[in-house]
Amino acid sequence: MSERPEAARELGVRTAALLVVASMIGTGVFTTTGFLVRDVPSAPAVLVAWLVGGVTALCGALAYGELAAALPENGGEYALLSRVYHPALGLVAGLVSYVVGFAAPAAASAIAFGKYLRGVFPGLDETGASIAAVVLLVGAATLHLTTSRGGRGMQDATTLVKLGLLVLFVALGLPAGDVSRLAHAEVPLVDAVTSAPFASGLVFVAYAYTGWNAAAYVAGETRDPGRNVPRALALGTAVVTLVYLGLNATFLAGAPAESLAGEVEVGRIAAVSLFGDDAARLVSALVAWGLVSNVGAFLFAGPRILEAIGRDYPRLEVLTRRRVGGGPIVGTLLLLVLALAMALTASFDALLIYVGVLLSLFAGLTAAGVFVSRFREPELVRPYRTLGHPWTTSIFLALTLWMIAHATWREPVVAAWAGGTLVVGLGLAAWLRASTKPTREQT
């Protein structure tokens, strides 16, 4: 493998951990519980689903920590799968992740931002909401493109405020609710958690936890990555898991199950039940604020994938260009264009399971890379070794496979969409590798 230029290592563990938090906490936690309550008639099982999702994400974060610490480069799955398996697989994962894992969620979060902003300002029409979504995307891209330090500072500040507001909501809402509702169940807990709807519901939960691997995408810019990247992955994921459990306990205690079942805006419904009609505007403002850091995180981490590809493929060197003190130019602008196109033309709701399945697939391959890397490269220096391996890694892989299998069985169209996306990715990867010889080769 030839030497590639490294980005300046300016990120500390706080910024990397907050990037994980910002990437994870978006609309998912405020919408997913309604589907779970509808399909799994057991409040304890719903909380178990969120706990399982958190444990799964944490086990995955521990595995990613070992690989990212040993191979501290930007690019996430692209860099890791290219080294552990084969450059072609890494390229497919990178291209799919760039579109499915960053551009599409950024668009979805921007759309949601506009909708929740209408809840804050009732006079805002649909056109105004769309304009707000565009302004958010353009503003976040401009900030991260022009000033890395300013972008990081704003990202940290908005994420810390978001965390504080969510903790305050739980602290005020949970005691005000009816905690006896947390024990309500129409079926035994064991039957509920072993059912097919529970497994499918975990795909929605997995989407809400998407982003737990965000620090791996900026490992090449993190100081002392052997220590800080694993710490950031684990710390960020653990914090979000606790917040999610608190929020969902508040939702379930705050409103009757029948009023939450199948509803998208469970946060608003619970808040109105807890605090009255005026609370709806406050919750809308809280979610809208949270989506600002969510979109910023996608536009900060996502462009690093194309930048990493440009470093490995000489004819794509244009992808590595940055403004002085700013972020990757082409990766940021292209991500902005894709997100704007999706935000203005698409409804993201129908793609929720599709996104979750694809991202889970590549995350599973990456986590399995701990086994593969230890077998193929036993001499590789590993500053951090996965805590609890092989058990924690196996738990992540088993739960990930369970979610994917049940989701594709219940929703066959998911398999078709995912398969089609992989075929397109393979085609692009084959074209790129044929048109320009990569510098990254298997070792």
Query: Closest Cα to residue 119, out of 268, 264, 291?
Result: 268
Give the residues across from 74 on adjacent strands.
Answer: 218
Q: Using the CB atoms, write b or e for 36-46: b if 16+ within 10 Å.
A: bbbbbbbbbbb
If phi > 0 it is left, if psi is from -120 to 50 it is alpha, else beta; for residue 276 that is left
Domains contained in the chain, number: 1
pLDDT of residue 278: 79
Q: Tokens 């710390």 map to which residue? A: 235
Q: Tokens 């490294």 map to which residue? A: 6
Say how far apart CA 220 and CA 6 lie, in whole Å.
7
DSSP class of residue 121 equals: S
Give the residues across from 218 on adjacent strands.
Answer: 74
pLDDT of residue 279: 81
**pLDDT tens string 106-122:** 888 888 888 888 888 88
CB atoms under 10 Å from CB of 388, counted, come to 13
pLDDT of residue 47: 95
Whether 3 is covered by a domain: the verdict is no
The CATH number that applies at residue 42 is: 1.20.1740.10
pLDDT of residue 243: 95
List alpha helices for 121-212, DSSP H. 126-146, 148-176, 189-193, 196-209
CA R_g for the chain: 21
pLDDT of residue 316: 82
pLDDT of residue 346: 56
Tell me which residue range forms the domain holding 17.
13-435
Whether 67 is covered by a domain: the verdict is yes
Whether 441 is covered by a domain: the verdict is no
C-alpha dihedral, 433 to 397 to 350 to 113, nearest 10°:
-90
**Residues 6+ positions from 152 with CB-CB distance below 8 Å:** 10, 11, 15, 300
pLDDT of residue 443: 43
Whether 5 is covered by a domain: the verdict is no
Q: How far is Cα of residue 105 from the mean position of the Cα atoms in its chain?
A: 8
Whether 306 is covered by a domain: the verdict is yes
Tokens standing for residue 68? 């990212």
Per-10-residue mean pLDDT of the chain, 443 residues long, equals: 52 90 84 86 93 94 94 91 89 86 85 84 86 92 80 82 91 92 90 85 82 90 92 95 95 90 82 84 84 89 89 84 83 91 64 69 93 94 93 92 76 72 76 66 47
With contact defined as beta carbons under 8 Å apart, do 234 and 62 qualify? yes
Tokens standing for residue 99? 């579109």
Say how far apart CA 29 and CA 328 lie, in whole Å.
30
DSSP class of residue 316 equals: G
Query: Closest Cα to residue 18, out of 136, 162, 150, 149?
Result: 162
Q: pTM for the whole thing?
A: 0.85
pLDDT of residue 423: 80
